């Protein structure tokens, strides 16, 4: 599959009125556009934290195209779509004709013919969601559920919702992200969104082998020592270390990583006393984070999962509204 980047992400994912046609990346979106997603997600949250059902997508069909496994993301998208009264179809790509030699374009055209309205795409190749968005007809919305090392925009936005609800005004916040930022699509989505929403300071704490090469373009501060990077932080985000990274030369060993960068109660004490702790999951306990921290009173990890449903409901509804506007324009 050839992945085309001919269209810039912001141009491809917005219609002529600046509404979301697709949701492919947090990069290039305005503060107002990101805030609209957060506000819409908030509207689905009841005062007790439960999520309300709203039939905004009744009669619409959402197809989850996961070329890469992710039980949590797939499940939350399915729950979000059903809470909006959409019909949900999960395509098992490994067993589909795409694995038997059918081209991706042919598969998309056939799924479109089955009256799909939204494709939620997860793929191991960076740029896959952008490529698919450039191929579909104007009546189909594409949502990126994670592509390679590039972006995971709904995860980034559910993290922004968590921060906004529990830490307050972004302009007053110092956010520390710990771990493998070089290969993390989650971290990139978070950094782009934090910059746009006006975070006071964004820090990355990682061994040199796992630091992003383009850190100057990302506008972040790099730290190799965890204690230094955590000093005075309001928000602490621990990233998952992928299994393949644990066995690569980039990382000495899981034990050494935990000794130097694992988030323990003793190390968390360097952050502000009321700092919130987050993790995109799944958690590797005893590698990225201690159980006492993951299950502690500062942890919002389960809240993140809950907010993920509300954010994905918002994105599903907003992109469908953007598609309907695009169709009327056409």
- pTM for the predicted model, two decimal places: 0.92
* Annotated binding residue 183: no
CATH of the domain at 214: 3.40.50.1370
The continuous run of DSSP H or E covering 178 comes out as strand 174-178
- Examine residue 40 and state whether it is found in any structural domain, yes or no: yes
Structure tokens at 20: 């979301």
- Check whether residue 116 and residue 185 sit in a common domain: no
- Examine residue 320 and state whether it is found in any structural domain, yes or no: yes
Note the pLDDT of residue 259. 93
* Annotated binding residue 7: no
* Annotated binding residue 281: yes
- Examine residue 108 and state whether it is found in any structural domain, yes or no: yes
Rounded CA-CA distance 170/163 in Å is: 8
Print pLDDT tens along the chain (330 aa).
Answer: 334 343 455 678 999 888 999 999 999 999 999 999 999 999 999 999 899 999 999 999 999 999 888 889 999 999 999 999 999 999 877 556 555 556 888 888 899 999 999 999 999 888 999 999 999 988 999 999 999 888 999 999 999 999 999 999 999 999 999 999 988 999 999 999 999 999 999 999 999 888 888 766 778 999 999 999 999 999 999 999 875 544 555 666 888 889 999 999 999 999 999 999 999 999 999 999 999 999 999 999 999 999 999 999 999 999 999 877 665 655
* Annotated binding residue 28: no
* Annotated binding residue 72: yes
**Contact by Cβ (8 Å): 85, 57:** yes
* Annotated binding residue 82: no
* Annotated binding residue 245: no
* Annotated binding residue 207: no
- Examine residue 39 and state whether it is found in any structural domain, yes or no: yes
Residue 151 CA: distances (Å) to CA of 130, 185, 285:
11, 4, 24
- Check whether residue 142 and residue 16 sit in a common domain: yes
- Check whether residue 111 and residue 162 sit in a common domain: no
Q: Within 10 Å of residue 52's Cβ, how many Cβ atoms?
A: 11
- Check whether residue 98 and residue 201 sit in a common domain: no
- Check whether residue 141 and residue 15 sit in a common domain: yes
Note the pLDDT of residue 4. 38
Domain extent at residue 287? 155-300
Note the pLDDT of residue 91. 86
Judge residue 26's burial from the number of C-beta atoms within 10 Å of its C-beta, 0-12 exposed, 13-18 middle, 19 or more buried.
buried
- Examine residue 267 and state whether it is found in any structural domain, yes or no: yes
- Check whether residue 79 and residue 165 sit in a common domain: no
* Annotated binding residue 155: yes
- Examine residue 2 and state whether it is found in any structural domain, yes or no: no
- Examine residue 4 and state whether it is found in any structural domain, yes or no: no
- Check whether residue 98 and residue 161 sit in a common domain: no
- Check whether residue 236 and residue 279 sit in a common domain: yes
* Annotated binding residue 122: yes
- Check whether residue 142 and residue 201 sit in a common domain: no
- Check whether residue 143 and residue 159 sit in a common domain: no
Residue 127 CA: distances (Å) to CA of 99, 120, 188, 228:
19, 14, 14, 35
- Examine residue 3 and state whether it is found in any structural domain, yes or no: no
Rounded CA-CA distance 99/190 in Å is: 33
- Check whether residue 162 and residue 51 sit in a common domain: no
**Counted domains in the chain:** 2
- Check whether residue 283 and residue 263 sit in a common domain: yes
Rounded CA-CA distance 246/314 in Å is: 35
Pairing of the two strands 141-147 and 174-178: unpaired
């Amino acid at each position: 599959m050839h992945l085309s980047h001919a269209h810039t992400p912001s141009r491809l994912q917005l219609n002529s009125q600046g509404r979301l046609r697709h949701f492919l990346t947090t990069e290039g979106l305005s503060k107002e556009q990101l805030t609209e997603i957060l506000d819409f997600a908030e509207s689905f949250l009841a005062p007790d934290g439960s999520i309300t059902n709203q039939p905004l997508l009744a009669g619409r069909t959402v197809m989850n195209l996961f070329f890469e496994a992710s039980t949590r993301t797939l499940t939350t998208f399915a729950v979000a779509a059903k809470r909006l009264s959409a019909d949900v179809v999960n395509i098992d790509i490994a067993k589909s004709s795409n694995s038997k030699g059918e081209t991706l374009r042919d598969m998309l055209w056939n799924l479109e013919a089955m009256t799909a309205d939204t494709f939620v795409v997860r793929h191991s190749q960076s740029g896959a969601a952008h490529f698919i968005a450039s191929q579909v007809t104007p009546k189909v919305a594409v949502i990126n559920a994670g592509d390679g090392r590039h972006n995971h925009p709904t995860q980034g936005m559910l993290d922004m919702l968590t921060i906004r609800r529990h830490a307050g005004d972004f302009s007053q916040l110092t956010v520390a992200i710990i771990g493998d930022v070089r290969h993390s699509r989650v971290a990139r989505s978070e950094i782009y969104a934090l910059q746009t929403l006006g975070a006071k300071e964004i820090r990355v704490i990682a061994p040199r082998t796992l630091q992003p090469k383009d850190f100057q373009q990302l506008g972040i501060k790099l730290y190799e020592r965890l204690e230094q990077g955590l000093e005075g932080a309001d928000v602490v985000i621990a990233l998952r270390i992928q299994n393949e990274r644990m066995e690569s030369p980039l990382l000495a060993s899981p034990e050494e990583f935990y000794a130097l960068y694992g988030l323990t109660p003793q190390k968390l004490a360097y952050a502000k006393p009321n700092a919130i702790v987050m993790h995109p999951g799944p958690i590797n306990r005893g590698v990225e984070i201690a159980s006492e921290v993951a299950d502690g009173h500062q942890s919002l990890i389960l809240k993140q999962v809950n907010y993920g449903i509300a954010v994905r409901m918002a994105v599903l509804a907003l992109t469908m509204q953007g598609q309907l506007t695009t169709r009327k324009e056409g």
